[in-house]
Amino acid sequence: MKKGLFITFEGTEGSGKTTQLHLLAEVLKKYGIPHIVTREPGGSRLATQLRRWILNQLDYKLMPRTELLLFLADRAQHVGEVIEPALQQGKVVLCDRYSDSTLAYQGGGRGFDLKLLKVLNGAASNLRPDLTVLFDLPVAVGLKRALGRGKGKDRMERESLKFHRAVQRIYRETARKEKDRFIVVNAGQNRELTYHEMLGKLIERLPLRKKVKKRG
């Protein structure tokens, strides 16, 4: 049975979610709250290979169905190998992308049927995040930021503005439908303001609440 807390971080390209996730991990560390930081694709041993094939092997034409099934294979392994054991130990799991990325990217971006994707997400794992933080910002601003990192574009970053806008539409729709699970943060602000907004919205729902109040 699950004892920990499962928090996922989502957003379009260049939303700064990874930076904010690590800032939150620092807070948990400071308050001695056991946690792990992980990501998709990429959290299991198998994932290092999968991530390369899905995102970086650009000379290889990956069929959209293959891409979808590889993301799901990555998730099935990641949940069983990394996430569930950590939750069973009572840890907070901070996960950079999860099933909402599949809905947004493969649904919005690639055009797969959302109902089908929900079934397939369920086949990969039944584990639902307790909380999902969505970092929302204008798509063009995020893409410019991502490009500014100078790492070169991966398979998704090469897609059109239209693709990324469709990704954002699904994120926003999902957040509207699942208000109990989602926290939406304005990621168009600078790093510090984004951080404060995230922390302010999260703090009421995190186990560090009492400790922070005691100290403050």
Task: State the residues that interact with ligand TMP by CB under 6 A.
Answer: 39-41, 55, 71, 97, 101-102, 105-106, 156
Q: How far apart are CA 48 and CA 54, in angstroms?
A: 10
CB of 112 to ligand TMP, least distance (A): 11
User: Contact 132/40 with Cβ under 8 angstroms?
Assistant: no
Virtual torsion, Cα 159, 19, 132, 92, nearest 10 deg: 140
151 or 215, CB closer to ligand TMP?
151
CB of 90 to ligand TMP, least distance (A): 25
CB of 31 to ligand TMP, least distance (A): 27
4 or 108, CB closer to ligand TMP?
108
> Which residue's structure tokens are 């400071």?
30
* Strands of 92-96's sheet in order across: 35-39, 92-96, 5-11, 131-136, 182-186
User: Contact 1/182 with Cβ under 8 angstroms?
Assistant: no
CB of 169 to ligand TMP, least distance (A): 15
106 or 174, CB closer to ligand TMP?
106
8 or 197, CB closer to ligand TMP?
8
Within 10 A of 196 (CB to CB), how many other CB atoms are there?
12
